[in-house]
Chains A and B, each alone.
Chain A
Amino acid sequence: MTSIGTGYDLSNSVFSPDGRNFQVEYAVKAVESGGTCIGIRTKHGVVLACEKIISSKLLKPGCNKRISTVDRSAGIVTSGLLPDGRHLTSRGRDEASSWRQTYKAPIPLSSLASRLGGYVQAYTLYSSVRPFGVTAILGGWDSEAESGVDGQVGNGPAAGAGGKVDDPSVKRGGPALYMIEPSGLYWGYYGAATGKGRQAAKAELEKLDLNSPDCALSLKDAVLEAARIIYVAHEDSKDKEFELELTWISALDGPTKGRHEHVPKELLEEAEKHAKKSLEGDDEDEDDDEMEE
């Protein structure tokens, strides 16, 4: 960065003459060296995955989880400064619970993303604070159930509500995936990646053709792909040990019944095996190519 030393990078809330906020850009740098995190959105649900670098052999495997549940049907994973991620997660939980208190219903993912985006953005405005050193991926499933108001008594007419419109344009819940950056910018995605291995991960995600209406990826396929992509993205930092963390969320009639959960142990092991095997496959292919030369 050429502008270093000009003084405009020292304070939040001060623009450089060419209209940049350097503190935010430095925060992005903090994310770029964080563990790879990805999110995959399919018709059947959402998968979140992260590469947890093992910083000490004394840490207990399978503990110190990095993907958290914010509300029953929403999960969040962050890449970058871990404590910043913890704080943002905690804020997400507060937002979800205050929404429930006011509206007596779960918060829609779009609203949760908007609230968290606004929160993160506020930390780019004041000289007394620094921006968040994290990019967060937010995944969830807005319930398609006729859930009514929390705590209501009675169910209305036995014949069902009259005048319901059977039109596909009427939204009745579904999958959602958002990514929130240190600037507070948030966008909805079919596939999202952040952290050290994001370039490789993005290239793999694009191959999945997630935005195509006839994308045939099942939720289980998405879990396997997520594991594979984390392994592919780890190739560049092979010297470091890592642990794979995977969560998923399906429709009410799917495997997680609309809840955000860590994938079961058996599926996690299957996904790891599948990922390692596909990497070995790549190596073999490369070997073959070399032999042909």
Chain B
Amino acid sequence: MGPDMATAMLGEDGIHIDMNHLKKGEVNLGTSIMAINFKDGVILGADSRTTTGAYIANRVTDKLTQVHDTIWCCRSGSAADTQAVADIVSYHLGLYGVMNGQDGPTTQTAAALFQELCYENKDQLSAGMIIAGYDKRHGGSVYSIPLGGSLHKQSYAIGGSGSTYIYGYCDANWKEHMTEEEGIKFVKGALGEAIKWDGSSGGVIRMVVLTNRGHERHLYLPDNGYTGPGRARPATT
């Protein structure tokens, strides 16, 4: 397969997936990530496993990345690619925030920047991202940018290799306008199943809750069956 081809292509005899699209030894986020809308904003969630082939390079990775005060993203695919994209978006949003004073960037602005980068460089990148954020004008919003660089606004989004195992779980348990507790329970339940079934997902469950209070991190450890410790840091405004 030529270097300019995407990781999956449709031939006469079906879809062919290039299993070796990563460079030898490249660090991969074989991952379970998701983000949901709830009553007061959004919740992002992710497992914490990073792999290099079969080797777990990091068991406590943070795949939830801040790109502005209350705009975050979940990263899946190549760790290097997604970090680079998030860094570029973070730079643009920072500049936008400084230049426009009080009305900082919205989640829409961030999603547009992510999409442009992912689409224009689709041949080079292996990045599947979920953008979720809270702003006063729009409230919470969740965007999914899968491999080709398309942009989907969704009620909730799941991604990464582990997501294939939880489409049924999410469809059966999803409801709109959940409370914060219900939302956390939904994300934890879904990611718990993804980690259970997906070999390349595992470790701890991390979450970020974005509301008008700012951002709050949550952490759930496998040692106690993902029951705690829960909220990790006090709210920042």
Q: State the A residues within 8 Å of B (CB).
A: 101-105, 108, 110-111, 114, 146, 148-165, 167, 170-172
Interface centre among A146, A152, A156, A164 (most CB of B within 10 A): A156
A152 to B157, CA, bound (A): 14
CB 8 Å contact bits of B99-128 with A (1 = contact, 0 = none): 110110000110111011000000000000
8 A–B contacts, CB within 8 A, in A order:
A104-B116, A148-B108, A149-B108, A156-B154, A158-B155, A160-B139, A163-B134, A165-B139
B87 in contact (CB, < 8 A): no
Which A residues lie within 8 Å of B153 (CB)? Answer: 148-149, 152-156
* Count class of interface residues, chain B: 35 or more
Which B residues lie within 8 Å of A164 (CB)? Answer: 136-139
B184 in contact (CB, < 8 A): no
Count A-B pairs with CB separation below 8 Å: 97
Q: State the B residues within 8 Å of A (CB).
A: 37-42, 99-100, 102-103, 108-109, 111-113, 115-116, 134, 136-143, 150-155, 176-177, 211-212
Which A residues lie within 8 Å of B143 (CB)? Answer: 149, 152
User: A151-B151, A172-B137 known; A162 and B108 CB under 8 Å?
Assistant: no
A160 to B154, CA, bound (A): 11
The 5 closest A-B pairs by CB, nearest first: A164-B139, A161-B139, A104-B112, A157-B155, A163-B41
B116 x A163 contact (CB < 8 A): no
A183 to B143, CA, bound (A): 43
Closest to B154 in A: A154
Closest to A114 in B: B99
A157 to B176, CA, bound (A): 7
A170 x B111 contact (CB < 8 A): no
A104 to B142, CA, bound (A): 16
Which B residues lie within 8 Å of A101 (CB)? Answer: 116
A165 x B212 contact (CB < 8 A): yes
B149: min CB distance to chain A, Å? 11
User: A102-B112, A105-B109, A153-B152 known; A161 and B37 CB under 8 Å?
Assistant: yes
B140 x A103 contact (CB < 8 A): no
A162 x B137 contact (CB < 8 A): no
B113 x A170 contact (CB < 8 A): no
A2 to B157, CA, bound (A): 70
B176: min CB distance to chain A, Å? 4
User: A162-B37, A171-B103 known; A149 and B212 CB under 8 Å?
Assistant: no
A161 to B39, CA, bound (A): 8
Interface centre among A152, A153, A170 (most CB of B within 10 A): A152
